[in-house]
Chain A
Amino acid sequence: MSSSRFALNLSRRVLGKTLRTKVASQHLGATRLSSYYTPAHEYVKVDGIIGTCGITDFAQAALGDIVFVSLPDVGDEFDAGDSFGSVESVKAASDVYAPVSGTVVEINEALNDSPELVNSSAEAEAWFIKIEMTDTSEAQKLMDETDYEKHCEDEA
């Protein structure tokens, strides 16, 4: 493991859940991944014109055991705010909304066999879709990590 990655993991253990991707981006070197959040608990991680979208850790904790994820098809187009799929627990289903407008270029097939990944790794391995964004400025209008954390505190 490189020393920068080691430092990242160590600080994760020390700071616990409050460590966010803002700090991660400072350690991971050249590629900066900026994360933005919606009030409805979706995130988009922006890398050039590709946005990787999913639901946040706060959301998965509130939902409980996830048993099913419904994903769109590659090639589907959405406007920001459109429902692009759903996430289900034993008890109920909830729509998931596109944080940004664009075309789906990749879906996370792993969630078909292992929906429980959403519980264990909502903001990393359990991304739902990758979107080719039509307007990269849309993401910047969403909440950053600090504002989103405050939003969660207010909601709790």
Chain B
Amino acid sequence: MLLSSFRRSAATAAFRSPYVVASASAATRRTMMAAAAAEPLMKTSLNEWHKELGGEMVPFAGYELPVLYKGDNVKNGGVMKEHLWCRSEGKASLFDVSHMGQIRWHGKDRAKFVEKMVVGDIQGLDTNHGCLSLITNDQGGIKDDTVIVNAGDYIHMVVNGSMKFSDMAHFQKHLDDYDGDVTMEYLEDDMQLLALQGSGSADVLSKLLPEGFNLKTMAFMTGLDTTIDGIENCRITRCGYTGEDGFEISTPSGISTIQIASKLCSDPNVNPTGLGARDSLRLEAGLCLYGNDLNETINPIMGTLAWTLGKGGPNARRRQEQDFTGASTFLKEDGKLKKQARKRIGIIGMKAPARQYTEIYDVDGIQLIGEITSGTFSPCLKKPIAMGYIDTIMSKNDTPIKLKIRNKMVDAHVTKMPFVESNYYRVPE
């Protein structure tokens, strides 16, 4: 068996089937090729810290990051243990996600401009409130997913590490044609991003926050500037990529990041966690990975992400105004959604894990009706789970299907997501 295949990066995915074809832009190729070729990998502030803790480093989105932790001194390392820790009562997992792009938007027209780029109701965000949104292209395809927060006098936007340069090139192109007061500030290496996820995160993080800061009243999808462990100019956002309660923590780069990460990990309830567990956690939570489950040939309707267009059905402001790039390609004039030929679904019931590119057939195993875009073995459910796209007429829950795994037709069925119930925080009444 070839051990090298285990170290291949998710960022270097190349799509092969008509179901999920994507053409990578030059900027994306740059980040992807940096991982593959002679260009050295970029390092986050925690690079040495990861190695000291036993991090097994791999290329991802052009950066060197830990896929898991292992070693004689590592008690809760490996994808399985790291994953299960995150979902354990009172525990928290710490991820280094500094490869992701952090952008600040300034100027009085910032919300109006950002709305041209994304599908969500950005102008409607109260101060400190945020949302998940999608950046679209002229054909209504998704260029990236992003978390956007109204930070009061600026807008805070986080995009995927593999797409950040492509996204900013896209924004710049539109900025050049835009007549208004808006500037885009890429925080580059000045700021790092950590994610603390798990039911124990609030307790752990509150120990490092200023006196009087009450996390009990901080709602899901809100963010605040704050001091952490005495370090100023940090920002915390109550959101994440695991389905658990948690926080994304933006900190100044360098020793500040190391100090905060070390302080957090000194808490016995916190476990440093790698990209391997990050992927299995998000898949159990039914969350998309851009590049696998979303790409420029998929629009928000196909991706079952129409909710990002805002509340109110067809009468939602953004569905009526349709002033974001590519809106009319998937919205009718009255704001209703155009029917799509295929749809994103969950898949379960197969005995063997089914990974990206696995073909989906009808129950007779004759007609090709879809393809899996992400698949793994669920550490919580102890069975294989997958996400993929299927002909809309076959997409009802419990529809029996066949998966072609290693040239054998294997039984499975369509199911709803998330696979594991989410624990997003609700402020008590």
Contact = CB atoms under 8 A, between A and B. Distances in A.
Interface string A32-74: 0000000011100000000000010001001111011010000
Given A70-B406, A90-B376, 11 more contacts: A42-B1, A63-B3, A67-B80, A67-B379, A86-B406, A88-B352, A90-B83, A90-B280, A94-B2, A94-B5, A94-B6
Contacts of B376: 90-91
A41 to B, nearest CB: 6
Nearest to B276: A91
A127 interface: no
B1 A40 contact: yes
B167 interface: no
Contact of A87 (B1, B384, B406): B1
Interface string B52-87: 000000000000000110100000001111010000
Nearest to A67: B377
A92 interface: yes
Q: Is the interface of A mostly helix, strand, loop or mixed?
A: strand
A90 B83 CA distance: 10
A123 to B, nearest CB: 14
Contacts of A59: 1, 3
B8 interface: yes
Nearest to B408: A70
Interface string A81-101: 000001111111111110000
Nearest to A94: B1
B69 to A, nearest CB: 11
A89 B8 CA distance: 14
Contacts of A40: 1-2
B79 A65 contact: yes
Contacts of A62: 3, 6
Most buried by B among A42, A64, A67, A91: A91
Given A42-B1, A70-B406, A87-B1, A64 B355 contact: no
Given A88-B353, A90-B377, A95 B79 contact: no
Most buried by A among B81, B376, B379, B384: B376
A155 to B, nearest CB: 8
A95 B1 contact: yes
Contacts of A55: 1
A155 B277 CA distance: 26
For chain A, give the interface size range.
Answer: 20 to 34
B259 to A, nearest CB: 30
Nearest to A63: B6
Interface of B: 1-3, 5-6, 8, 67-68, 70, 78-81, 83, 276-277, 279-280, 352-353, 355, 376-377, 379, 384, 406
A64 B68 contact: yes
Most buried by A among B8, B81, B83, B276: B276
B276 A68 contact: no
Given A90-B377, A91-B67, A93-B353, A64 B79 contact: yes
Contacts of B8: 92
- Listed from nearest, the 9 A-B pairs whose CB atoms lie closest are A65-B80, A67-B377, A94-B1, A90-B79, A62-B3, A91-B276, A92-B6, A96-B1, A65-B78
Contacts of B5: 92, 94
A63 to B, nearest CB: 6
A59 B4 CA distance: 11
A91 B406 CA distance: 17
B165 to A, nearest CB: 26
A94 B7 CA distance: 11
Most buried by A among B279, B352, B353, B376: B353
Given A86-B406, A94-B6, A68 B353 contact: yes
B3 A41 contact: yes
Contacts of A92: 5-6, 8, 355
A70 B352 contact: yes
Nearest to A119: B78
Contacts of A41: 1, 3
14 contacts: A55-B1, A64-B6, A67-B80, A90-B280, A90-B377, A91-B67, A91-B79, A91-B376, A93-B355, A94-B1, A94-B2, A94-B6, A97-B1, A155-B3
Contacts of B3: 41, 59, 62-63, 94, 155
A120 B2 CA distance: 20
Contacts of A68: 352-353, 377, 384
A42 B1 CA distance: 7
Nearest to B79: A90
A62 B5 CA distance: 11
B379 A90 contact: yes
Contacts of B80: 64-65, 67, 90
Contacts of B67: 91
A79 to B, nearest CB: 17
A135 B406 CA distance: 28
Nearest to B8: A92
Nearest to A155: B3
A39 B352 CA distance: 27
Nearest to B275: A91
